[in-house]
Structures are given as structure tokens and as C-alpha cells.
Amino acid sequence: MARRTFTLLIALVALALSLPGALLFSSRIAQEQEREFLRSSEWMAKNFADHVWLQLRSLPSEDLGRLRAVFSTMVEEFVVMDPVIYAQIVLDGELIAQHQHLGDAPLERVLALPEGGVLARKLERKRLESGLEYLDIWRALEPKPTSEPVTSYVRLGVSLAPLREATSGIYQLALLWAAGFALVMGLGAYLSWPWWHAARGLRPLERAKAYGPGEAWTFGQLVIDDHAKEVRLNGATLPLTPREYALIKLLASEPGRVFSAQEIIERAWGTEKFVSSEDVKKYIYLLRQKLESDPQNPTVIVTVRGFGYKFVPPAQ
């Protein structure tokens, strides 16, 4: 498996695991946001009905012209408040004042007066032909049982566009969070590739096997005979120097593990002085010339760039 494929696989798995949870959490937040929006919209309608009722009690009911003027000003000022899109005041079944900003939507199709009154309290979700979704809210001017029809009421239209925008933002944030988590996991997978690949290169039996002094270690057609101090490949003994033998023995003692140049110097050269990483490169090169079928493209003594060298057991 290539490093890029491994990174992509981990990122996709992380995305698949995090996305459902993020969407579920966002769905709960969106539902709570919607409940709060409905509560605030109904409170707005109640507040408007209370203001109309207070004005109605302070003005002479016989002066209908003055009532119309005062209430017309009230509805115009109230509709300015976002997200209200229309307001209507009806007294004893007669329309006293109304105002709206619905664009090209016909007013009479939206604010038509019902026959026989309305319920004391009602809320409906509606949609205009233009696609605008809104709440149609009715509130009686006087406190009455909810199921009792009334002929004096206020009516508000509250656009659902702000709620839809907020909900969309919540889900977009969830997608960004899941994508960010997948990106972080993919980056972690990319950076951990050398270690993962090294561990993957070990077959289970080889990882479990303990190699001790004086034993013959067998890796397919490659045999490291510590008793005879020789290495055989395909039945033929390789002409290794003591240093080359010590080097392959060290690397093969833990197949798949990456040994740094400094660690190789300390364990294969011991207390010798003036040994550098260049000496390690030299002996790695010499070892590959005798061990690898293609020394320019080694598969047994592998360089892990930036970390060191590892022994990959040859195929059976």
C-alpha cells in the first residue's frame, strides 16, 4: 500500500466515523434553535397584541378615524422589525390596519379575512409562491380560551429565512468539523507511515519469534547462521566480512524495525572511535551488493529516509 493511499484511506475512515455524529449533534442544535425561534415569534405576537389592547383602552372607541390612524402607524413601525413581513389588526371582524412587505405577492391572498372569526391563538407554517417560508400567527386582543373563536385579533407574518440561515450555518459547521477531523487524522497517518509500514512489513510469525545468539535465523531462502557466523542465500554462502555480518545480524534481529545510523554505530561498532554515518552508508552499500538481487533498488536492506535502515525479510 502506497503512502498516499494509506493517508487517503485513514482520512476517509475518519470522515465516515465523525460525520454521522457531527450531523446528529447539529440536528439537535438546529431543533433547539427552531423551538427558540417559535417561542420568540409567539412572544412577539403576544407583545404586539398587548400593545394594541392598551391603545384600544386608552382611545375612544367611537372615534374610528383616530383608531385607524394610530393603528396604521403601529403596524407600519412593527413591520419594520426583522423578521416581521406583515401585520394586521382586526376589530369586531373589521380590518382596521395592515401593512406588509411581501414583494410581488398579492396581499389579499396572504392576509384575507376569515369568515366567522378565528381561534384565540393559532400558528401556521406557510409558503409563498416565491418560495418564502413564514409563520402566520394569530393572537386575540383579550385573553380567551384557545379554542374559542374571536373577531378582534392581531395577525403577524414572521419570515423563516433567518432560521433557515442559522440552521444551514450549523450544518455547514458540522461538515467543516468532520472534514477538519479527517484532515488531522490523514495528516497523522501521513506522518506515521514509516512506522506503520515498518510494522506491516513483519509477518506475524516473524514478529513473535525471538532471535538469540547461536541460532540459525531463517527468512525464506535467506539463512543467518550465528553458530557458523555465516549467511546463506539460496543455499550459497555469502562472502561477508565480520563487519558486514555484524551489520546484517543487527538489522535482522528485529525485522521491520528502523535502526538509526547512531544506533547501528553503537551496537555494531561498539567502542570504536571516529566512526560516522558515512561508514554506515558504506557498509550498507557493500552488504547490498552481496545480498540484493538489484542493489540499486534494494528490497531487503531498505532505507527509511530521515530515520535509518531496516531489514525486510525476503519473500519465500
Express each pLDDT in 202-238 by its tens digit.
443 344 344 555 578 888 889 998 888 899 988 899 9
The pLDDT, as a whole number, for residue 207 is: 41
**Structural domains of the chain in order of their starting residue, each with its CATH number:** 3-166 (3.30.450.20), 204-311 (1.10.10.10)
Q: pLDDT value at position 72?
A: 84
Backbone angles phi, psi at 277, to 5 degrees: -65, -25
Assign 105 a pLDDT band (cuts: 50, 70, 90): low
Q: Select from 165, 168, 183, 174 the least CA-distant residue to 24.
A: 174
Give the pLDDT confidence of 18-64 residue by residue, as tens digits. Answer: 889 988 999 999 999 999 999 998 998 888 888 888 888 887 766 77
pLDDT tens digits, 260-309: 999 888 888 877 778 888 999 999 999 999 998 899 999 999 999 989 99
pLDDT computed for residue 197 by the predictor: 55
Q: What is the mean pLDDT of residues 181-189?
A: 88
